[in-house]
A and B are shown apart, each in its own frame.
Chain A
Amino acid sequence: MAEQTTTLQIRTPEGIRFSLLLAGPTSRLLALLVDFSCITVATTTISTVLRLFALISQDIFMALTILSGFVISIGYGIGCEWYWQGQTVGKRLLHLRVMDEQGLKLQFSQVVIRNLLRIVDSLPALYLVGGIASLTSRKCQRLGDLAAGTIVIRTPKVQLPDLEQLGTEKFNSLAAYPHLVARLRQKVSREEGAIALRALIRREELDPAARLELFRELAALFRSQVAFPGEAVDGVSDERYVRNVVELLFEQRGRQS
């Protein structure tokens, strides 16, 4: 079994690396269920509208119902994924998108092939083949994806973090000790700094108790790495202390001087 990955790394011709978040089988299954519901609703609605033809001919009504049902079931995925560039209603709701596995946009033939090959993926019942394939393939691909060279990625809404959360305009009592600041920069690892920054940016999302606990741990970590004099830290809350440290870590030296 190939080792599965949750991200796909792409290296552009310019030498830039970026990663795409691969969608797991569960979210894909949920999107599929939504799509099945859409197909059922569309087929039923069209069949109801076509019932008008029954006034003219029952034969024509039946023929049109059969044809429209077939066209919708085959064409829904193809039409949506082509028009919405890799998304169906289900995928839009679940924030998923089909993409070329090289990070490029989908070609029409890719969309057609991955959708027509659903017939194999759905064998013998309930998408068993497709499910097993996506659980065992490295990039979570069902057979249709393997043939069409596509992947399904997660596209969560990503917003630029709000740096005002850092509160860097406030007085920083630690800045008065440049030799300790220099040591702090030396001692704190990149990962620790990033975790602290992330905690500050997302602090409003945290539960009050969790927020207190998180900043208590972070402040304790930084205090253990460099000890600032009492007058610099007395009366400073853990969160304020972490904010001061992060400001010092992420500011350019030139700006401070």
Chain B
Amino acid sequence: MIIDLERFTATEKPFWDELERLLKRVENDPACRLGVEGAARFHYLYQRASAGLARLDGLAAPLEFRRYLESLVARAYGEIHSTRDNAHRLVPRTWLLESFPQTFRRHIRQFQLAVLITIVGAIFGAAILMVAPEEKGMLLPFDHLHGSPTERVAKEEQEAGKRLAGHKATFSSSLMTHNTQVSIACMATGMTWGVGTIILLFYNGVILGAVVLDYLAAGQGIFLAGWLLPHGVIEIPAILIAGQAGLVLATTLIGKGSGLTLVARMRKVWADLTTLIGGVGLMLVWAGIVEAFFSQYHEPVLPYSVKIAFGVVELCLLVLFLGRSGRGGKVAKRG
């Protein structure tokens, strides 16, 4: 109970003020480096403030004193004990060529599960369309897919890519933003123990299966390949990787058999989730450009063989990239 607050404050205040100044400096400039001496002084001031706080512990010092010292100690604690990622040190090339594919491979099981869910959805969609073709309008949310594939092919070949003339950039940016939103939703709904992610992947598969069956049944397989492959071989894997991220989140949330707390489990996957969704974003930018500026041109403007070959080459490169890139390099940092 007996503490001479006036004397205590008079002695300690210069140190608290110095700590406050240092804190303001490091907080206002994240790139600030204190140097060895500065860091040692900072640590000393932190310890001194902590000791002051400990002195007040159990004593009848007024709340304001405690709050003031707690706020100083809390801020200094955060600065001293944190190792913050330095965004300025992010090397895009290393991140793209090493971190992203390594992270993808580290969670390959979740990717395989995402593929499986999509395939099941695709089979379901195809089956529904086969059994009840009149439900096409309900299955496919896009107006241009509701009509007959043969009529659409004839119409688009006749238009020779003029349909989007003057709107290609707008169309491309709409695709990028829409697909990125779907991907983010696919990852974020992993927080519902994976239920949301599974539903989105399944629904994506349903649409894909129904479209593929619709065009194959109408004998428009070549058009379909020429139309879908150039952008689809990037766009569909991107959505699958977003689903992979969602399933990683769900697996971590469930945490079966890990023996770790939720926070500890989550800490292990933060960096991986960010890397995966960042990679997905990049893939969707590319897919959006290809879809607007390449996929919409059909024969006679662009031979289907060229479009299919382009798509196959892209797919091979993507498989090579995700499967081989970054092997033997430094393993990307986790969590």
Contacts and interface: CB of A to CB of B under 8 A. Distances in A.
Interface string B163-199: 0001111101110110011001101110110001000
Interface string A63-81: 1101100100010000000
Interface stretch (A24-32, A191-199, A233-241): A191-199
B274 A191 contact: no
A197 to B, nearest CB: 5
Interface string A228-257: 000000000000000000000111110100
Interface stretch (B66-74, B133-141, B207-215): B66-74
Interface stretch (B34-42, B76-84, B107-115, B321-329): B76-84
A163 B167 CA distance: 70
A52 interface: no
A104 interface: yes
Given A12-B77, A105-B78, A120-B192, A161 B65 contact: yes
Interface string B52-66: 011001011111110
Contacts of B64: 158-161, 198, 201-202
Contact of A99 (B78, B170, B263): B78
Contact of B60 (A13, A102, A193, A255): A193
Contact of A59 (B59, B67, B166, B187): B166
A143 interface: yes
Interface of A is mostly: helix
A113 B270 CA distance: 7
Given A59-B168, A63-B170, A185-B2, A103 B59 contact: no
A94 interface: no
How extensive is the interface on chain B, given as a class?
A: 35 or more
B13 interface: yes
A18 B73 contact: yes
B277 interface: yes
A249 B1 contact: yes
Contact of A109 (B59, B63, B85, B196): B85
B327 to A, nearest CB: 23
B266 A148 contact: yes
Interface residues of A, number: 72
B16 interface: yes
B27 to A, nearest CB: 6
Interface in A1-54: 10, 12-20
B158 interface: no
B1 A160 contact: no
B3 A252 contact: yes
A110 B68 CA distance: 28
B273 A109 contact: yes
B267 interface: yes
Given A66-B170, A160-B13, A198-B64, A252 B274 contact: no
Given A19-B70, A63-B169, A119-B184, A255 B9 contact: no
B266 A112 contact: no
A108 B170 contact: no
A219 interface: no
Interface in B259-307: 262-263, 266-267, 270-271, 273-274, 277
A227 interface: no
Contacts of A18: 53, 70, 73-74, 77
Contacts of A104: 77-78, 81-82
Nearest to B86: A108
Contacts of B274: 108-109, 112-113
B249 A252 contact: no
Contacts of B143: none
Interface string A102-134: 111111111011001111100000000000000
B5 interface: yes
Contacts of B271: 107, 109
B73 A16 contact: yes
A198 B70 contact: no
Contacts of A249: 1-2, 60
Task: Report, nearest first, the 7 A-B pairs whose CB atoms are least far apart.
Answer: A190-B60, A63-B169, A105-B82, A109-B270, A194-B60, A63-B173, A109-B274
21 contacts: A20-B74, A82-B87, A99-B78, A103-B74, A104-B82, A108-B85, A108-B87, A109-B270, A110-B270, A112-B277, A113-B273, A116-B184, A116-B187, A149-B263, A149-B266, A158-B68, A161-B65, A163-B9, A190-B60, A250-B3, A252-B2
Interface of B: 1-7, 9, 13, 16, 27, 30, 47, 50, 53-54, 57, 59-65, 67-68, 70-71, 73-74, 77-79, 81-82, 84-85, 87, 166-170, 172-174, 176-177, 180-181, 184-185, 187-189, 191-192, 196, 249, 253, 262-263, 266-267, 270-271, 273-274, 277, 335
Interface of A: 10, 12-20, 57-60, 62-64, 66-67, 70, 74, 82-83, 85, 99-110, 112-113, 116-120, 143, 146-149, 155, 158-161, 163, 166, 168, 185, 189-191, 193-194, 197-198, 201-202, 249-253, 255
